A and B are shown apart, each in its own frame.
Chain A
Amino acid sequence: MRTMSFVALGLAFLVLSVSTPVLAHHGFSVEFDKDSPLTLTGTVTKMEFMNPHIYFYVDVKGEDGKVVNWAFEGGPPNVIYRQGWRKDTLKPGDVVTVKGFRAKDGTHLAACSTVKLPDGREVSAGSGGVSQDAYGSGGADGKK
C-alpha cells in the first residue's frame, strides 16, 4: 500500500511537472533573459524551501577548473509542493543537472526550468518562464 502511494505520488509529480503556469511576485523579463538559456551540472550545496520562491545553490566546476556556486530560483514553495516537491527533494550532496535562464544582471543566478534529479527524473521547478499556459500569455515572459 505504501509502495503504491509512493508510485502514485511519483506519477503525479511527473504529470504535473509537464506544464507550470507561474505567478511569481515579479515578472520574468525584469530579472531573467529568455535569450540566455543554460544547462549546468553540479553538486547541491543548499536548499531554501521558502517564499516567495524556492532557492537552491549548486557548485559548478567550470572548464578552467574553478568552482562557482550558482543560485537557482524556482517557483513558490506552495505551488511546487502541490506538484510533488518536498523540502528534501534536493539535498546537499545531490548531483543534478539544471536547465534555466540566466539573470540579466550577469550574476551567477538563474531561473530554474527543470532539474534532473539523481534518480534520473527530470522535474519542473516551477520557474523559468517556459511554460506559462495561461490566459494572456504567449511568450517566455508572459507579455508577448
Chain B
Amino acid sequence: MKKYFRSGATCVGSLLIFFPFAIARGNQAASGTPQAAAPPDLNGVWSAPFTPDISKVLGHQPPFTPYGAARFAKEDEIDDPLTKCLPIGPARGIQAGIMPFQIVQTPAVFTILFENQHTFRIIHTDGRSHPKDLDPTWFGDSIGKWEGDTLVVDTIGLDDRTWLDTAGHEHSDQLHLVERFQKVDNDNIKWTVTFEDPKFFTEPWSITLPIARQNTEIMSYSCEENEKDRDHLVRTKK
C-alpha cells in the first residue's frame, strides 16, 4: 500500500511539475509562434557620416510648403543654434560625423549618449505611449519597439529651435520623426529617418545613412569652455 501511495504521489508530483510546461508547449504549437527572439545587441560606440546638407543626401530639396521654402531661403548659418552652443537635436546628433555616440541598451530603455555637447536621448522600449500634452523639448519624447532586427523609434514633442543640418533646414514643433535602426552585422547599422512636419513639408521624406562601429570611447565636450568664434561670425545672406 505504501508502495502504491509513494508511486501515486510521484505521479501527481510529476504532473504538477510538468503540466504547466506541457500547456505552454501546447499553446506554442497551436499558435505556431515561437518565443520572440532577443533583440539585437547594439551596445557600443558608433558614428554616421557628417551630413552638413541633408538635401545632398536626399538628392534635392525637401518637399517644402511655401512657408518652409521661405524660411529656408532666408536662413543664415550664423543663426545655427550650435553657434550658440544649444543642443544639437535627436537626428542631427546621429549625423554629427567625427563626434561619435554611444548606445547603451537595456530591455526597457535604449539610450544614445552623444559626444557632441554631452547630450543624450532616452528611448523608452517598455511599451509605453507618448504622454498627452507634451511640452516641446530639445530631444522630444521617444518611444521604440523592435521589429525583428530593427528598432523603430517614434519621436514627437520637439523644440522648433533645433536645425536638421548646418545648411539651415528647419522644422516646427509639429515635427514627427520615425527612425529605423536596422542591425546589418556586428559593426554596421542602417539608419533611416523620416521627417514629417505639415508646417514645413508637404509630405514625409526620408534619408538613409550608414552607421559604423567605432574603436574609441566618447570623450568630453564643453561648447562654452573656450568659445571665441561668436564675435567673429558674419552674416552670409543679406
Residues of chain A with a CB closer than 8 A to B96's CB: 23
**Interface residue range, chain B:** 35 or more
Contact, CB under 8 Å: B228 / A136: no
Tell me if A104 counts as interface (CB < 8 A to partner B).
yes
Please judge, given known A-B contacts A25-B82, A30-B235, whether A50 and B225 are in contact too, CB under 8 Å: yes
Tell me if B229 counts as interface (CB < 8 A to partner A).
yes
Chain A: minimal CB distance from B114 (Å): 11
One digit per residue, 1 when the CB lies within 8 angstroms of any chain A CB and 0 when it does not, for chain B 82-106 equals 1101000000000111110000000
Residues of chain B with a CB closer than 8 A to A105's CB: 232, 234
User: For chain A residues 66-118, which have a beta carbon within 8 Å of chain B?
Assistant: 71, 73, 76, 78-79, 81-82, 103-105, 107, 109
Chain A: minimal CB distance from B63 (Å): 17
One digit per residue, 1 when the CB lies within 8 angstroms of any chain B CB and 0 when it does not, for chain A 38-76 equals 000000000010111101000000000000000101001
Contact, CB under 8 Å: A73 / B229: yes
Contact, CB under 8 Å: B220 / A22: no
Tell me if B141 counts as interface (CB < 8 A to partner A).
no
Contact, CB under 8 Å: B57 / A55: no
User: For chain B residues 120-137, which have a beta carbon within 8 Å of chain A?
Assistant: none
Residues of chain B with a CB closer than 8 A to A134's CB: 49-52, 97
Contact, CB under 8 Å: B76 / A136: no
Contact, CB under 8 Å: B57 / A135: yes
Tell me if B187 counts as interface (CB < 8 A to partner A).
no
Q: A51 is contacted by which of B78, B166, B223, B236 (Cβ under 8 Å)?
A: B223
Residues of chain B with a CB closer than 8 A to A30's CB: 76-78, 80, 83, 233-236
| 6 pairs from A and B in contact (CB 8 Å cutoff) | A26-B82, A29-B236, A31-B232, A52-B221, A104-B232, A132-B50
Which B residues lie at the A interface, using CB under 8 A? 49-57, 76-78, 80, 82-83, 85, 95-99, 115-116, 165-167, 209, 216, 219-223, 225-230, 232-236
What 10 pairs across the A-B complex have the smallest Cβ distances?
Answer: A136-B56, A27-B77, A142-B52, A136-B53, A50-B226, A134-B50, A78-B219, A135-B49, A51-B225, A26-B83
